[in-house]
């Protein structure tokens, strides 16, 4: 990205609704506020760091120990995992969850929508740096719509002359009252790959969190609902272009091992991720595209 914060404000700033400014450690941020909600997006990773409908608790969680350093993943919000989910399929030296979340994306369009939502589009294209990690030409476009509902749409284009396989996720960190006192509905009966021991199991009833939880659910297009009695709300996640969902909570020991995660923060968050993970990876022929979408809404409810 070559634009400065000043040129971005001149080109894409929306009076009152959208402005760009420096965040922690100088990382450029897009700040969105409208009659329905507020949101913050880091241009690094096109990563949502905050989303809060007016009159409600924050919907997304960010660690108080998060790094805001160039090229370092920010712990929280909605990291974009792409072009691979988890460790690289064959080269363990490559960055976990791909390079999209640590790359600087370019804001290309801002819209004050008639329904009162604010829309921001950010783009990332292949470069020498990305081709050194993943030898394919691509253009990906994230559209974020901020209103009473949060909508994310990742449009993945193969701009090269050979097919590629990519996996990924909206690695959404949700703010919860207490991870041990909630349940996730919508996965009953689905099979999941347990990343903790490599076993495949079947989900019986709602997902409850009582230890480290790291599961990739298959054939799970949603909708999924986090029922949070302490905050008295439901967070509903609708998706499109995704047949896998990930539920992750690091619990105590793993939280203690992560420098950018507070030892006791595991109770305040839960990741429910809209994914194309494991065998839900997508193959794109030259010129083709894939759309991964998530719609995040909240309703009061015990």
Q: Kindly list the catalytic residues.
A: 171, 273
Which residue lies nearer to ligand TA6 by CB, 117 or 255? 255
Which of 56-69 are b and which e, b meaning 16 or more Cβ less than 10 Å from the residue's Cβ?
Answer: eeebbbbbeebbbe
CB 3, min distance to ligand TA6, A: 28
> Is the CB of residue 169 less than 8 Å from the CB of residue 275?
yes
Is there binding between residue 73 and ligand TA6 (CB under 6 A)? yes
User: What is the token pair recorded at 14?
Assistant: 């929306």
Contact track, ligand TA6, 84-123, x by CB under 6 A:
--x---------xx--------------------------
User: What is the token pair recorded at 37?
Assistant: 């909600």
CB 227, min distance to ligand TA6, A: 21
DSSP 9-47: HHHH-BTTTEEEEE-GGG-EEEEEE-SSEEEEEETBTTE
CB 71, min distance to ligand TA6, A: 13
For the beta sheet containing 18-22, the strands, ordered from the edge strand earlier in sequence to the opposite edge, are 18-22, 28-33, 37-42, 47-53
Is there binding between residue 248 and ligand TA6 (CB under 6 A)? yes
Is there binding between residue 246 and ligand TA6 (CB under 6 A)? yes
Contact track, ligand TA6, 200-229, x by CB under 6 A:
--------------x---------------
Residues 135-194 that bind ligand TA6 (CB under 6 A): 171
> Is the CB of residue 14 less than 8 Å from the CB of residue 30?
no
Q: Using CA atoms in the order 57, 225, 179, 230, what is the torsion angle rounded to 10 degrees?
A: 50
Is there binding between residue 236 and ligand TA6 (CB under 6 A)? no
Which residue lies nearer to ligand TA6 by CB, 73 or 231? 73
Which residue lies nearer to ligand TA6 by CB, 53 or 77? 77
User: What is the token pair recorded at 84?
Assistant: 């691979």
Chain positions contacting ligand TA6, by CB under 6 A:
73, 86, 96-97, 171, 195, 214, 246, 248, 271, 273
């Amino acid at each position: 990205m070559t634009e400065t914060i000043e040129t971005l404000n001149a080109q894409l700033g929306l009076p009152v609704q959208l402005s760009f400014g420096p965040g922690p450690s100088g990382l450029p941020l897009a700040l969105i506020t409208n009659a329905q909600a507020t949101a913050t997006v880091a241009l690094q990773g096109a990563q949502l760091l905050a989303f809060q409908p007016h009159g409600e608790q924050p919907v997304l969680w960010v660690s108080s120990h998060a790094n805001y350093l160039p090229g370092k993943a920010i712990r929280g919000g909605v990291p974009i995992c792409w072009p691979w989910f988890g460790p690289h399929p064959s080269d363990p030296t490559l960055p976990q969850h791909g390079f999209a979340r640590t790359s600087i994306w370019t804001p290309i369009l801002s819209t004050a929508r008639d329904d009162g939502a604010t829309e921001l589009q950010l783009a990332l294209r292949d470069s020498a740096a990305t081709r050194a990690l993943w030898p394919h030409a691509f253009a990906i476009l994230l559209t974020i719509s901020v209103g009473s509902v949060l909508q994310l749409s990742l449009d993945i284009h193969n701009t090269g002359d050979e097919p590629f396989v990519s996996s990924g996720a909206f690695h959404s960190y949700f703010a919860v009252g207490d991870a041990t006192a909630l349940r996730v509905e919508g996965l009953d009966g689905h099979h999941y790959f347990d990343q903790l021991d490599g076993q495949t199991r079947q989900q019986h009833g709602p997902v409850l969190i009582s230890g480290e939880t790291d599961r990739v659910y298959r054939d799970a297009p949603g909708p999924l609902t986090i029922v949070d009695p302490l905050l008295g709300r439901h967070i509903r996640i609708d998706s499109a272009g995704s047949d896998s969902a990930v539920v992750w909570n690091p619990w105590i020991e793993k939280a203690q091992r992560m420098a950018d995660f507070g030892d006791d923060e595991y109770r305040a968050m839960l990741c429910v991720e809209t994914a194309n993970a494991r065998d839900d990876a997508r193959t794109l022929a030259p010129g083709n595209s894939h759309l991964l979408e998530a719609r995040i809404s909240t309703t009061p409810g015990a």
